[in-house]
C-alpha cells in the first residue's frame, strides 16, 4: 500500500500507509529501503502495478506466487488495487494531511524524498525527529470490533441482491450497465466481488448521477487514454454505446487526441478548449468540462490548478466534481487489478502450453 502510494505520488496516502504499517509492526527500516526478500518482492510488484503505464513482468508475478499462498497473493493484489482508488481520490481532491501524521512520520519520510506537497501549507514545518506511532494494542482491536456490527448492517443494506461470485456478477452488471467487467472473473473472495459489483452498478446508475452518464463514460475513456490502457479504452466505448447513445462514434477520436497531450499545462486556454470540446457531436458544455477535469485529474499526481477550477465551476457543481473524481478513482482501481491479471493470464497460458506436449495427427 505504501509502495504503490509513493509511485502514484500521493503524499497523503504515503504518510498514512507508512504510519499504518508501523502500527501493524513493520520496522521503519523496511519502509525506507532495508527489506528482506519477501518484503522486496511485494514492494517490487506494488511499484510496478502503480506505474503508468504498468511495467509489471511475469517474473515479478512468479516471485510473488513463490513466496505467498494463492489467497495471500489475492489480498496483496487487492490492497494495491484498492489503494489505487484512495491514491487518486485523496490526491485529486487535495485532501489536507493532518499535522499528527506529519509529526509521526514526516522526518523519516523526508529521508526518502517525500514531501507533503499540496496536502499541506507551503510553509509547513516537518519535525527533525518523528514521534513514531506505537504498535496497535488489544484495546485498539477491541475499539474496532465494536464498530463491526453497524458496519455489517450498512454493508448489507448497500449490497442487497448483489451477486458475490462470477459469472453471476458479470451477468448482473451486463444487465445494469451494459458491460460485464470481466476483471471480476479473476477474484475469489465473495465479499470483494459483491462490493466491487455494487460500486460499478451504483456509479453507472443514471438516477444516482448528478453529472450524467455521458460525462462519466467520457471521463473513463480519458483516464484509459492517459494511462495507455487500450483494453479500458475499448471498454469505455462499449459502455458509452449502451449508456450514452447520444455520443457519436467519431467523437472519441478528437477526445483521444486531446487526452494524449503530455500534460494539461499544454492547454493554452481552458475556455477555448471547453468551446472546442462542446462542439463535438453529442457533447454538452458540461460534458466538455468533465473531460477537461478528467484530463487534469488522470495524471499522477493530479494537475488541477485554481484557474481550471474557476473555468469549470460554472458548469460543474461541487457534487459533480466529487462524483467524477470518485469514478476516476474507480478506474485507477480497475487499472491496477487489470495490470496484474493481464500478466498472470499470459503466464498461465504459457505454462499450459509448456506442460502440453506437441501432438501430431
Q: Give the separation between CA 341 and CA 89, rounded to whole angstroms.
A: 23
Cell of 149: 456490527
Considering the domain architecture, whether residues 105 and 7 belong to the same structural domain is answered as yes
Condensed to tens digits (0 to 9), the pLDDT of residues 194-230 reads 999 999 999 999 999 999 999 999 999 999 999 999 9
354 within domain boundaries: no
Say whether both 26 and 105 belong to one domain: yes
Domain interval for residue 193: 147-203
**253 domain-assigned:** yes
Give the DSSP per-residue string, 320-346: HHHHHHHHHHHHHHHHHHHHHHHHHHH
CB within 8 Å of 133: residues ≥ 6 apart: 19, 22, 23, 104, 105
- Predicted local distance difference test score (pLDDT) of residue 348: 59
Tell me whether residue 98 is in a domain.
Answer: yes
Residue 358 lies in a domain: no
pLDDT the model gives residue 360? 45
Q: Is residue 330 part of a domain?
A: no
Tens of pLDDT, residue by residue, the chain (361 residues)? 999 999 999 999 999 999 999 888 888 888 877 889 999 999 999 999 999 889 999 999 999 999 999 999 999 999 999 999 999 999 999 999 998 889 889 888 998 899 888 888 767 888 777 777 778 778 887 888 888 889 889 888 889 999 999 999 999 999 999 999 999 999 999 999 999 999 999 999 999 999 999 999 999 999 999 999 999 999 999 999 999 988 888 899 999 999 998 777 666 688 999 999 999 999 999 999 999 999 999 999 999 999 999 999 999 999 999 999 999 999 999 999 999 999 987 555 455 455 555 544 4
279 found inside a domain: yes
132 and 162 part of one domain: no
DSSP for 48-109, written as a single string? HHHSSS----HHHHHHHHHHS-HHHHHHHHHHHHHHHHHHHHHHHHTPPPPHHHHHHHHHHH
Domain count within the chain:
3
Q: Looking at the structure, tell me whether residues 8 and 125 fall in a common domain.
A: yes
Domain end, chosen from 112, 140, 168, is at 140
Same domain, 18 and 136: yes
Nearest CA among 165, 315, 295 for reference residue 222: 295
Assess whether 135 and 6 both reside in one domain. yes
Residues 30 and 71 in one domain: yes
Regarding whether 157 and 173 lie in a shared domain, the answer is yes
Residue among 12, 6, 75, 9 nearest 340 (CA): 75
Do 71 and 52 meet the contact criterion of CB atoms below 8 Å apart? no
C-alpha cell at 11: 503524499
The answer on 258 and 195 residing in a single domain is no
User: Do 261 and 136 fall into the same domain?
Assistant: no
Residues 121 and 30 in one domain: yes
Domain-embedded: residue 340: no
Residue 25 is predicted with a pLDDT of 86
pTM of the model as a whole: 0.90
Boundary (domain end) residue, out of 93, 117, 140 = 140
Domain boundary among 140, 169, 192: 140
In a domain, 27, yes or no: yes
Sequential DSSP letters for 266-321:
G-S-HHHHHHHHHTSTT--HHHHHHHHHHHHHHSSS----HHHHHHHTTTS-HHHH
Whether residue 237 sits in one domain with residue 160: no
Q: In the 8-state DSSP scheme, what is residue 199?
A: H
Amino acid at each position: 500500500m505504501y509502495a504503490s502510494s509513493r509511485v502514484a505520488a500521493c503524499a497523503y496516502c504515503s504518510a498514512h500507509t507508512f504510519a499504518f504499517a508501523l502500527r501493524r509492526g513493520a520496522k521503519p527500516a523496511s519502509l525506507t529501503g532495508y527489506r528482506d526478500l519477501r518484503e522486496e518482492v511485494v514492494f517490487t510488484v506494488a511499484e510496478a502495478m502503480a506505474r503508468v503505464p504498468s511495467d509489471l513482468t511475469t517474473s515479478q508475478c512468479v516471485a510473488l506466487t513463490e513466496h505467498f499462498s494463492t489467497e495471500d497473493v489475492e489480498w496483496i493484489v487487492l490492497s494495491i488495487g484498492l489503494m489505487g482508488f484512495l491514491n487518486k481520490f485523496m490526491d485529486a481532491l487535495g485532501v489536507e494531511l493532518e499535522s499528527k501524521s506529519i509529526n509521526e512520520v514526516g522526518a523519516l519520510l523526508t529521508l526518502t524524498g517525500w514531501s507533503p506537497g499540496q496536502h499541506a501549507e507551503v510553509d509547513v514545518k516537518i519535525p527533525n525527529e518523528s514521534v513514531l506511532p506505537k504498535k496497535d494494542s488489544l484495546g485498539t482491536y477491541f475499539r474496532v470490533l465494536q464498530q463491526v456490527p453497524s458496519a455489517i448492517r450498512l454493508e448489507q443494506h448497500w449490497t442487497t441482491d448483489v451477486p458475490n461470485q462470477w459469472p453471476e456478477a458479470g451477468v448482473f452488471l451486463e444487465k445494469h450497465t451494459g458491460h460485464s467487467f470481466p476483471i471480476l472473473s479473476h477474484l475469489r473472495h465473495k465479499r470483494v466481488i459483491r462490493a466491487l459489483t455494487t460500486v460499478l452498478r451504483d456509479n453507472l446508475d443514471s438516477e444516482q448521477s448528478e453529472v450524467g452518464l455521458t460525462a462519466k463514460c467520457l471521463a473513463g475513456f480519458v483516464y484509459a487514454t492517459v494511462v495507455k490502457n487500450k483494453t479500458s479504452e475499448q471498454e469505455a466505448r462499449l459502455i458509452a454505446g449502451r449508456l450514452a447513445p447520444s455520443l457519436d462514434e467519431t467523437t472519441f477520436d478528437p477526445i483521444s487526441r486531446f487526452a494524449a497531450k503530455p500534460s494539461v499545462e499544454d492547454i493554452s486556454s481552458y475556455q477555448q478548449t471547453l468551446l472546442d470540446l462542446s462542439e463535438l457531436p453529442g457533447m454538452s458544455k458540461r460534458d466538455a468540462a468533465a473531460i477537461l477535469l478528467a484530463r487534469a485529474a488522470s495524471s499522477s499526481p493530479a494537475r488541477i490548478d485554481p484557474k481550471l477550477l474557476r473555468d469549470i465551476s460554472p458548469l460543474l457543481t461541487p457534487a459533480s466534481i466529487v462524483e467524477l473524481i470518485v469514478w476516476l478513482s474507480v478506474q485507477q482501481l480497475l487499472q491496477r487489478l487489470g495490470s496484474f491479471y493481464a500478466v498472470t493470464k499470459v503466464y498461465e497460458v504459457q505454462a499450459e502450453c509448456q506442460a502440453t506436449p506437441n501432438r501430431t495427427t
